[in-house]
Amino acid sequence: MKLAPGDIAPAMALETIRGERLTVPDASARLVHLQFRRFAGCPVCNFHLLSLARRRQDLEAADIREVILFHSSKNEMLAYQAQLPFDCVADPTKQQYRRFGVETSKWAALHPRVFWAGLRWILATGRFYNKAENGILGLPADFLVDSRGFIAAAKYGLHADDHWDADELLQLVSDLRRVGDAGAHRIPATR
Contact 138, 38 (CB under 8 A): yes
Give, for 172, the enclosing helix (H) or strand (E). helix 166-179
Total domains in the fold of the chain: 1
In-domain check, residue 173: yes
Contact 134, 19 (CB under 8 A): no
State the amino acid at position 45 in one-letter form: C
pLDDT in tens, 9-62: 999 999 999 999 999 999 886 899 999 999 998 888 888 999 999 999 999 999
Provide the pLDDT for residue 43: 85
For residue 133, give the CATH number of its domain.
3.40.30.10
pLDDT in tens, 86-117: 999 999 999 999 999 999 877 666 656 656 56
In-domain check, residue 89: yes
Provide the pLDDT for residue 184: 41
In-domain check, residue 7: no
DSSP 8-state code for residue 16: B
pLDDT over 80 (residue 183): no
Q: What's the CA gap between 55 and 136, in Å, rounded?
A: 27
Domain encompassing residue 33:
12-179
In-domain check, residue 187: no
In-domain check, residue 121: yes
In-domain check, residue 189: no
Average pLDDT, the chain: 86
Provide the pLDDT for residue 130: 62
Q: What's the CA gap between 90 and 69, in Å, rounded?
A: 6
